[in-house]
Structure 1
Amino acid sequence: MDLEKYLKIIIDSYYGYFDYLVNEMFYPSWQNYFWWLLGMSLAVWLLEIVVPWRKEQAIFRKDFWLDGFYMFFNYFLFSLIAYNAISNVAVEAFNDFLALFGVENMIALHIESWPRWGQFLLLFLLADFIQWNVHVMLHRVPILWEFHKVHHSVEQMGFAAHLRFHWMETIIYKTVQYIPLAMIGFGLKD
């Protein structure tokens, strides 16, 4: 095992994601996920204020700020703290493991010659099917339910309630998704 290679991946991951996050926050553009998430969240929250479904619910409902924290933590800070480096090392370690058996390319279904819409449709359907199954698993497997309970702890629904989830769910979802999507040529970032 080449520890220096993995250490370099970790360091590059931290620097790379930090640079990405700084650019997302301080250099807005139309392709910028940070500002799109913030803008869409603000738009939906304003819509909730103008056309409330629960008229008796306060504008700043119970745990409003907690859900805001989960939004920033789960979508930005967790990747900076750990996920980006861990996932990059895990992918490299998995590829190194496959190489022990002579497997250099795990793509089983070559779809690069398909039209873009066909590739997108397959990616969408496969990813959605996997996510649905993982969600069912989160409800049925007791140890996974312990993580998923965080998502169901919301007492008053609002625009960001669906963003409240345990960081371990990111690891579970992405781990289960990785191999099937990689087998058709899509990586974690797609």
Structure 2
Amino acid sequence: METIIRLTAALGIFGVMIGWEYFSPRRPLPIGRKQRWPINLGLATFNMLLMRLTAGGIAYLSAIAAAEKSWGVLNWFAAPAWLSIIMTLLFLDFAIYAQHFVLHKWPLLWRLHQVHHTDLEFDATTAVRFHPLETMISMAYKVLCIYLIGAHPGAVIAFEVILNGASTFNHSNVNIPPAIDKKLRWLIITPDMHRIHHSTIPAETDSNYGFSVSWWDKLCKTYTAEPKHPQTTMTIGLKPFRRQAELGFMKLLLLPFKPLRRR
């Protein structure tokens, strides 16, 4: 049931966002969908099958196990359900922000995470462009956080849905009026805010690490409000990777094992 809930929500949100992108795009995408989507969706499918075969539902099952064995801070203090849910969501949200920061700062992990940033355009499919090893490491880290906090099982399901939905939304090439975007940023991460993180300018790439709420970037001083170049013309991706031909499916799988290119 947990898998059905997550998959249904993910497909529904993805469908809404690609429809929005089609009818009201924020910026033109010179590299067509036929060139990029098979790679991005191929990685997503590969990751989904890999996780299903090796660690399907492990996040939710870890929360159940933690509750049964009274592991984790929230279980030690027998926190009421409402507090446990709120604390689980906030803790996991910040944990993913911290993880994203480390992925950029630790060269070994950057080897994996650079696959996500090699996309030369920015749309909803960019949200699922991850190397399988990064996906597995991220899940292991998430499980560790779940045991540490003693996460509420229901909140873990909600968090997985929020994580996927927010990532799809803030990677989308959708047009949101600037005045509305500015107000939304008081609470959530908008596509314009996260697009800055995919800039080729290193100082911009190393900012705006959050995935759902904008608080952590502002509190930790990793927030960049506006890019150096306009949102509609800024260059997306990494400077060492500017040819679509070298970004095929198999080449991306092997990329972490090749000499690391300077950004």
Aligned equivalent of 1:78, options 50, 53, 59: 50
Q: Are 2:119 and 2:126, in contact at CA under 8 Å, matched by a contact in 1? A: yes
> CA–CA distance in 2 between the matches of 1:108 and 1:40?
33
Q: Deviation digits for residues 138-178 of structure 1, max 9, x if unmatched?
A: 11111111110111011011111111011222222232233
Partner of 1:37: 10
Q: Could you list the runs of 5+ residues in structure 1 that have no partner in the other structure?
A: 1-18, 25-31, 96-103
1:140 to 78, 95, 105: 105
| Gapped regions of structure 2 (runs ≥ 5) | 157-263
Determine the structure 2 residue equivalent to 1:66: 39
The answer (yes or no) to whether the contact 1:70–1:164 under 8 Å persists in 2 is: yes
Structure 1 residues 119 and 188, CA, compared in 2 at 3 Å: closer, same or farther?
A: closer
- Say which of 142, 155, 158 aligns to 1:177: 142
Q: In 2, Cα distance between the equivalents of 1:33 and 1:180?
A: 20
Q: CA deviation at 1:45?
A: 0.7
Counterpart position of 1:50: 23
Q: What's the secondary structure of 2:151's corresponding residue?
A: coil
TM-score by length of 1: 0.63
Aligned length: 147
The aligned amino acid for 2:135 is T
The alignment yields a C-alpha RMSD, in angstroms, of 3.1
- Higher radius of gyration, 1 or 2: 1
Tell me, yes or no, if the aligned pair for 2:84 and 2:151 is still in contact at 8 Å. no
Residue identity in the other structure for 1:114: P
Please tell me the residue identity of whatever aligns with 2:119. Answer: V
1:188–1:109 CA distance, 2 compared to 1 (3 A): closer
Deviations 1:25-44, CA, capped at 9 Å, x for gaps: xxxxxxx3323322221221
Deviates more, 1:152-161 or 1:180-189: 180-189
Given that 1:148 and 1:169 are in contact with CA atoms closer than 8 Å, whether structure 2 keeps it comes out as yes
Aligned to 1:64, the other structure's residue is in SS state helix
Question: Which residue identity lines up with residue 110 of structure 2 in the other structure?
Answer: W
Moved more, 40-49 or 57-66: 57-66
Matches of 2:45 and 2:15, distance apart in 1:
14
Instruction: Return the structure number with greater helix share.
Output: 1
Shift in Å, 1:20 = 8.3
Map 1:1-190 → 2, pairs under 5 A:
24=4, 32-55=5-28, 57=30, 60=33, 62-74=35-47, 76-84=48-56, 105-110=70-75, 112-116=78-82, 118-186=83-151, 190=156
Q: Which residue of the partner structure matches residue 254 of structure 2?
A: none
Q: 1:154 to 1:108 in 2, by over 3 A?
A: same
- The AA in structure 2 aligned to 1:166 is H
